[in-house]
Structure 1
Amino acid sequence: MWRSASLLLGLALFLSACGGDKPASGGGETVYKFASDASYAPMESMDKDKIVGFDIDFLAEVMKEAGLKYEVKNTGWDTMLESVKQGTEFHAGISAISITDERKMSYDFSMPYFESTNMILVKEGSPIKNAKDLKGKKVAVQSSTTADTLMTEIMGKDNTSLKKFDNNVLALMELDKGGVDAAVADIAIVREYIKNNPNKKFVGLLDKENFESEFYGIAFPKKSELKAKLDPAIKKIIENGTYAKVYEKWFGEKPDTSKLLNAK
């Protein structure tokens, strides 16, 4: 009898250790785990051993409003996307993730919390003035981003002149050292890079005709229960002015929050 009980207990412990497709809560109150790619200053970046940025401060206010415990881990872009999709290690991802129809097939998203667009970065004196001018040029982007998608459409699939990097830092550095004619990334990242490198004569180009506005959202595994907890909190901090304070801290201007509340 005791042998059977021991075997059953051992089997139960084994199944408990191996089973389930949700991140472990560690017992008691759930600590929600967020993945991020901390190479997107000013959205998220590393300050020594700490992740800082707009997304991080925004998330802190959202989780405070929702009354939930959480932690954020720097994982890198591709690892974040895959881990969140699988839903085995992380409950969600936050890292300037644009909401797209293609991504909606693999993830659920929070309501939009940030309006963005892609921007072209060139050196002063460049003949490039818009996205169409990038045809026939060497262009750097971060792989698996909307910049990658847009430039693939413009330059053609498998075009070897479209240089894809693991993160935006590497893509922007490739322009700095002369390996490409231009780099394309989210406007906040490009503007931050220009601000931090005033002596390098970089120019940021907006092309609203070819680069439409896009919205960031928190990414969840499909059918995540966390979305329903965070959407009301996001809406509340946008409406009560908390969001605007975080936005002004990082960007020095007031946001147009009506676009966030009305975005589909």
Structure 2
Amino acid sequence: MPAANPLRRRTAALAVLLLAAAGCAPQDDTDIARPTGGPAAAAHACAKGRLLTRAPGKLTVGTDKPAYAPWFQDDDPTSGKGFESAVAYAVADRLGYARSDVTWQTVPFNSSVAPGAKKFDFDINQISISDERRRAVDFSSGYYDVRQAVIALKDSPAAGARSMAGLRHARLGAQVGTTSLDVVNDVIKPDRKPSVFQKNDHAKTALKNGQVDAIVVDLPTAFYITSAEVPEARIVGQFDSTAGKAEQFGLVLDKGSRITGCVSDAVDSLRKDGTLARLEKKWLSEAADAPVLK
């Protein structure tokens, strides 16, 4: 009998190894996450109330505890009161889930944006969209454009300002290199040079010590300062979104989530029809007493 061809033996052995590797390799389930077949298939993947969520027929939403006002009211995300609670239920509604189909999970801020599997379908917790965070998680489209705000001590003349004109004679301060300082210089345009600080902590100290009449910070920071750090201060008002690429909050999803596109579509529709603007006005302007300064 002629000797077996060495090339044929090697080829056969390689085929066996490849078959074995294919049988042992973990299967990639991302095909489920990214439907093919055009718009009809994509629409089917986003069918109302039928997303591939953690629990069939349910939508699990995460946020931190305590859940601060005005984002949530009375530390109760389930109430639908407060801007982010209202946004979460509005998104759920667009996705086809009734309020009774929404369940909430307590998720610390750092855990929500850390690598690894999540115990929520999406998380809402004033989380800014950034390229660095995108390496670990998915983000929806932005549901809130971060605005700038003015805070002043309650007994300061600046606290009574109802327009930008009422701030032009005030001694203003802001952190160096921030959008806040840009707003002072380019939007308010005070008639005296503003005080510039290396950190917001220094600006807060100057405010408490009466070295400035008011400081400009982003609105989420203003809510925290006036509620937890300098309760003797109040928010005088906020400004319209500034030109350029605004900082945005986004809903956080697991990296490669099968529902990221559907959730983004829901957020986009809420922005397009004015729902987000109405909720922002209700919970972040009127309820939180932070009027827009003109």
> C-alpha distance in 2, partners of 1:231/1:79?
21
SS in 2 for 1:190: helix
Which residue of 81, 106, 121 corresponds with 2:113?
A: 81
What's 1:63 paired with?
A: 92
What's 1:115 paired with?
A: 145
Which residue of 269, 278, 285 corresponds with 1:236?
A: 269
> C-alpha distance in 2, partners of 1:250/1:24?
29
What's 1:187 paired with?
A: 219
SS in 1 for 2:261: helix
**Judging changes above 3 Å, is the alpha-carbon distance between structure 1 residues 108 and 198 closer, same or farther for their aligned structure 2 residues?**
closer
Q: Give CA deviations for 1:84-134 in whole Å, capped at 9, x if unaligned.
A: x42242222111111111111111110111100466756559976121332
Report 1:222-233 matches (<5 A): 222-233=255-266
**Judging changes above 3 Å, is the alpha-carbon distance between structure 1 residues 73 and 46 closer, same or farther for their aligned structure 2 residues?**
farther
Report 1:19-30 matches (<5 A): 25-26=54-55, 29-30=56-57
SS in 1 for 2:141: coil
SS in 2 for 1:86: coil
- Over alpha carbons, which structure has the higher Rg? 2
1:41 aligns with 2:69: yes
Which residue of 120, 129, 146 corresponds with 2:173?
A: 129
1:96 aligns with 2:126: yes
Identity %: 19
Matched letter for residue 109 of structure 2: W
Matched letter for residue 73 of structure 1: Q
Instruction: List alignment gaps of at least 5 residues for structure 2.
Output: 1-28, 30-51, 159-169, 177-195, 287-294
SS in 2 for 1:224: coil
What's 2:83 paired with?
A: 54
**Judging changes above 3 Å, is the alpha-carbon distance between structure 1 residues 92 and 195 closer, same or farther for their aligned structure 2 residues?**
closer
Q: Give CA deviations for 1:122-172 in whole Å, capped at 9, x if unaligned.
A: 65599761213322x6x55xxxxxxxxxxxxxxxxxxxx8xxxxxxxxxx9
**Judging changes above 3 Å, is the alpha-carbon distance between structure 1 residues 199 and 81 closer, same or farther for their aligned structure 2 residues?**
closer
Matched letter for residue 98 of structure 1: S
**Post-superposition offset of 1:67:** 0.7
**Judging changes above 3 Å, is the alpha-carbon distance between structure 1 residues 91 and 231 closer, same or farther for their aligned structure 2 residues?**
same
Deviates more, 1:119-128 or 1:227-236: 119-128
**Judging changes above 3 Å, is the alpha-carbon distance between structure 1 residues 117 and 49 closer, same or farther for their aligned structure 2 residues?**
closer
What is the aligned residue count?
193
Matched letter for residue 228 of structure 1: G
Question: TM-score scaled to structure 1, two decimals?
Answer: 0.55
* C-alpha contact 1:41 1:192 (8 A) present in aligned 2: no
> C-alpha distance in 1, partners of 2:123/2:105?
9
**Judging changes above 3 Å, is the alpha-carbon distance between structure 1 residues 24 and 176 closer, same or farther for their aligned structure 2 residues?**
farther
> C-alpha distance in 2, partners of 1:30/1:243?
25
> C-alpha distance in 2, partners of 1:185/1:32?
34
Which residue of 231, 246, 266 corresponds with 1:213?
A: 246
Matched letter for residue 103 of structure 1: R
Matched letter for residue 251 of structure 2: I
**Judging changes above 3 Å, is the alpha-carbon distance between structure 1 residues 131 and 232 closer, same or farther for their aligned structure 2 residues?**
same
**Post-superposition offset of 1:59:** 1.3
Instruction: List alignment gaps of at least 5 residues for structure 1.
Output: 1-19, 141-160, 162-171, 254-264
> C-alpha distance in 1, partners of 2:237/2:276?
27
SS in 2 for 1:246: helix
